[in-house]
Chains A and B, each alone.
Chain A
Amino acid sequence: MSTELSNTPTSTQLHHELRRDITVWGSYMWGYADVGADIYAALGLVIAAAQGAASLAFVVAGLVYIMIGFAYTELASAYPVAGGGNYFALRGLGDFWGFTAGIALLLDYTIDIALFAVASAGYINFFLPYLGVDPNHFILIIGSFKINYLWLLESLGLVFFLIWLNILGIKESSLFNEVIGVFDIIIESSVIIFGFLFAWKPELLVQQWQTSFPTLHQFMYGSSLGIISFVGLESISQAAQETKRPATIIPRTSITLIFTVFIFATAFSTLSLGVLPWQTFAQHIGDPIATLAHAIPYIGLIAGPVTALLGATILLISANSGVMSASRLTYSMSEFSLLSKWFDKVSPKYRTPVRTIVVFSGIGILEILLAFLTPEAMDTLGNMYAFGATLGYLIVFVSMIKLRFSDPYTPRPYRMPFNIKIPYKGKAVDFPVLGVLGFLGVGMVLFEVILTHKIGRIAGPAWVILGILYYIYFRKHNNMPVTKSLKRDWEAHQIDVLTSAEEYDLVEEYKLALKERDEELRRSEKNKIDR
């Protein structure tokens, strides 16, 4: 381990430039804001692809997601810094892979902003007929392009609103998430409870399974889209640096979130196929939850507007999570010399990374504009969403396994279950069996994405390649190695991180482990000399 301190943010920077004011509930809501909204956008797409086996598609994607969740919980509680997957890859695999993971996740965050702002605006349009306005009248035809400019302008307006909100600071946007999130959880639970009590027909579920089972290609497309229902745990890692007592809070938040989201996603798909034929959802890809709620007796009459309001709000907070995560990820990447220091600037007035918020939300705006030039804006954005997530997660799994070997001294308040002890350099290391299964699972989903997503398999890799070209230019321009990593004192950095997180017990545990290691090294050196 190098003792040279270079390009590693100090505790002073970590402590003063970003504030730690997110509680257990706030941390949970950051994740829920992302993941809870995903089902609103993904349900219709997955049912349209996987048809009668949509529940199975959600279960398959959900099992992979649970393993991703365990890995993130372990890493985010052990390394509570703002970078998330990018930081874990940086620690485990070095600068290049850290950048690659970061750029893949950055694609997801910018798409997150774009996709959910568009979807939120779509739910807002549900109310226009009540005001005597037909949203289909606002179509602009330019050559072969048919652009719904009202929807486009609404989407752009929402992104500008979120930029303003995030520039004000984390406290304001966290409160925003929490208030709207509580409302959303209540309504979402009500739809599930009323649906299962009064509208669910198990025999219809069975009939659709028997008569509308998809082809393998359709199922692969459906299950790979299913993974986008579960993107959100990264937000907790992103918020880790701003969370109070992260080593205590992150495991509690993540584990609850993992299982809540898995059960809700499986519940919505199981309920949907037991209430209406899958073809109905295929015709209502834009508002599947509202369609489902409308079919529930007693509450159906008011369920349409209420769920539309619910959809609009929860999708908006998911887009807000995207703005927050993109800005914090780029902030972290620039801190570690993976991006220009230009992004590093924190506003002296608001103490938020204004430049990163504006630039990457701006990319989200560009993605919205381009997506509206395609026949189905939401489908185009959804296609790319899965690519970034799966590539990033794949690198995170490798990093998690590598860190078990290269950094066994960092205290891990939570470990992925199912480990086997194997000897490594005279020390017993816990090898994560579930980590390997998770890697294979995410690898399978990435394979499905490349095989079945027409836009995602081109635009996704193109984004990563462009990012790598920028990385090569940036590193060469600044006389830094491209394929090799900068020397960093990770041990001092880890102590700084844990100290600034007020995890003093873990600091002591870490120092003790390092001391024991150093004594052991000294003993073995002495033995060698004696011989």
Chain B
Amino acid sequence: MRSSEEVKKIRLTDKIRVLNSGLFIVIGITIVFRSIYLLSGIYLLFPCVVGTGFIGLGIYRLKFVVQYLRDKQ
């Protein structure tokens, strides 16, 4: 269990991680939508791997924000 002092502390690296993770989700959605609009069949494979990968990575990285908010409560 982390102390309340630790919970209050938001470092610059945490802020960068949140921003970066949010951008990963945005870019993932953009890649998937652009690919679906323009491509079909096997050619959708790589853009979809990359797009969904970024969305997943962004969500995974943002899990710690949820943890932070829970700890704060």
Contact = CB atoms under 8 A, between A and B. Distances in A.
Interface residues of A, number: 26
Nearest to A262: B53
A196 B31 contact: yes
Contacts of A138: none
B50 A270 contact: yes
Nearest to A56: B46
A251 to B, nearest CB: 14
Interface in B20-73: 20, 23-24, 26-27, 30-31, 34-35, 38-39, 43, 46-47, 49-50, 53-54, 56-57, 60-61
Q: From DSSP, what is the main secondary structure of chain B's interface residues?
A: helix
A25 B64 CA distance: 14
Contacts of B13: 25, 182
B33 to A, nearest CB: 11
Contacts of A196: 27, 30-31
Given A25-B13, A186-B16, A263 B23 contact: no
A202 B16 contact: no
Interface stretch (A203-211, A329-337, A447-455, A479-487): A203-211
A202 B34 contact: yes
Interface in A161-208: 182, 185-186, 189, 192-193, 196-197, 200, 202-203, 205-206
A266 B20 contact: no
Nearest to A178: B13
A267 interface: yes
Interface string A247-271: 0000000001001101100110010
A266 B54 CA distance: 11
A270 B49 CA distance: 10
B39 A266 contact: no
A213 to B, nearest CB: 12
A352 B34 CA distance: 52
A200 B46 CA distance: 13
A262 to B, nearest CB: 7
Contacts of B23: 189, 193
The interface centre, meaning the residue of A182, A205, A267 with most chain B CB atoms within 10 A of its CB, is A267
A309 B46 CA distance: 29
A381 B73 CA distance: 54
A212 to B, nearest CB: 14
Contacts of B60: 256, 259
Contacts of A192: 27
A25 to B, nearest CB: 7
A212 B61 CA distance: 37
B57 A263 contact: yes
B34 A200 contact: yes
A197 B47 contact: no
A205 B49 contact: no
A55 interface: yes
B34 A205 contact: no
B47 A270 contact: yes
Contact of A266 (B24, B26, B38, B46): B46
A259 B49 contact: no
A25 B61 CA distance: 13
A345 to B, nearest CB: 37
A259 B24 CA distance: 13
Nearest to A189: B20
A59 interface: yes
Nearest to A192: B27
A202 B39 contact: yes
B20 A202 contact: no
A530 B30 CA distance: 74
Given A202-B38, A206-B43, A182 B16 contact: yes
Contacts of B30: 196-197
Contacts of B49: 59, 266
B72 to A, nearest CB: 20
Contacts of B61: 256
A56 B43 CA distance: 11
A259 B60 CA distance: 10
B50 A202 contact: no
Given A202-B47, A266-B53, 6 more contacts: A186-B20, A189-B24, A202-B34, A203-B38, A263-B54, A267-B54
Interface of B: 13, 16, 20, 23-24, 26-27, 30-31, 34-35, 38-39, 43, 46-47, 49-50, 53-54, 56-57, 60-61
**3 interchain residue pairs of minimum CB distance:** A263-B53, A55-B46, A206-B43
